[in-house]
Amino acid sequence: MSQEEEKAKLFVTRLLSNPTLLTLNPLQKEDQIMSFMEINADQLKPTLSSNAFFPGQSWFNIHNLLVKTLRLLIDESLIPGIQRQLYDKIDFRFISILRQQNWPQEKIKEEVLNFIKNIISSPDGRRDFSGSYNAISRQIVDKYINSIFDDHSYIHFELTKVQRLKMSKEEVKDMINTSLLLRPAIYVFSSSMNKDSSSGIITQNFAEKVEESLIKKIPSLPGPLVKSAIRSNLSFEDHKYLQATARLTSIINSMARSFKADMKIDRGASSPEKSWFSIARKNYKYFGWDIKMLDELFRFSAENNW
């Protein structure tokens, strides 16, 4: 490791030790530090270009070195975390229900893990993956699917009667969690130019190309699972026959991206998830979400104070 790399590591490590980052997941920590460096660039330039740090270097080179160092440090906890999610929290036996064929679980997990490493090698992929990572590590899917199956209302009907999933509650959880992990695959096969930069919506033509490429790359993944993941990037406003699991994947990924553990709630204020769903219901058309799903999820968050 060069002297400059060592200095960059010490500087970034100091930023990561900030107590306010303690409860955030690795990618949220990365996002916070990236924002800090962008917002405070004018204040950081004189210090970091001094003799104590990187004398004679342009801010462009310094920034790139810090970002590279930050991602390497974050990956030291992120990749083992992804591995734990895949190997400890998801049972891939549901795949045999979708394609009537058994594949060794270890082989599937290995292929998916390697593919996720490709996803997080892209800045846009990392950003989108943050919501998926958070949703699984915080078991967000589990609690909402429990409520959905207890309630037997709109979302349950869409999953069991419209999408016709012949699965148990636990198998549906595993399918949606896997769908979440694979959702950012669009960034492996193309750049963010193929999606709306603010809403995150892609075209059906692009979705179909990604699905075809992903099935070739990981042939053990059945078509319905791949569609659930990739089409979660489509708008329900424009595609009324979008799978229920794809619609849930989109909503949960976006909601979980802003979720922070141990968030304090002021007296009289709405709980974090209820507050998010309340805002999402007003913007559902822009982001292409299913308003009936949002209404039901909002009700669950209100009833359970989530």
Q: In the prediction, which pLDDT does 56 show?
A: 87
pLDDT tens series, the chain, 306 aa: 789 999 999 999 999 999 999 889 999 999 999 999 999 999 999 999 998 899 989 999 999 999 999 999 999 999 999 999 999 999 999 999 998 777 788 899 999 999 999 999 988 999 999 999 999 999 999 999 999 999 999 999 999 999 999 999 999 999 999 999 999 999 998 754 455 556 779 999 999 999 999 999 999 899 999 999 999 999 999 999 999 999 999 999 999 988 765 555 555 567 889 999 999 999 999 999 999 999 999 999 999 999
Tokens of 123: 């800045």
- C-alpha–C-alpha distance, residues 21 and 260, integer Å: 10
Domain ranges of the chain: 1-89, 94-260
- C-alpha–C-alpha distance, residues 264 and 277, integer Å: 18
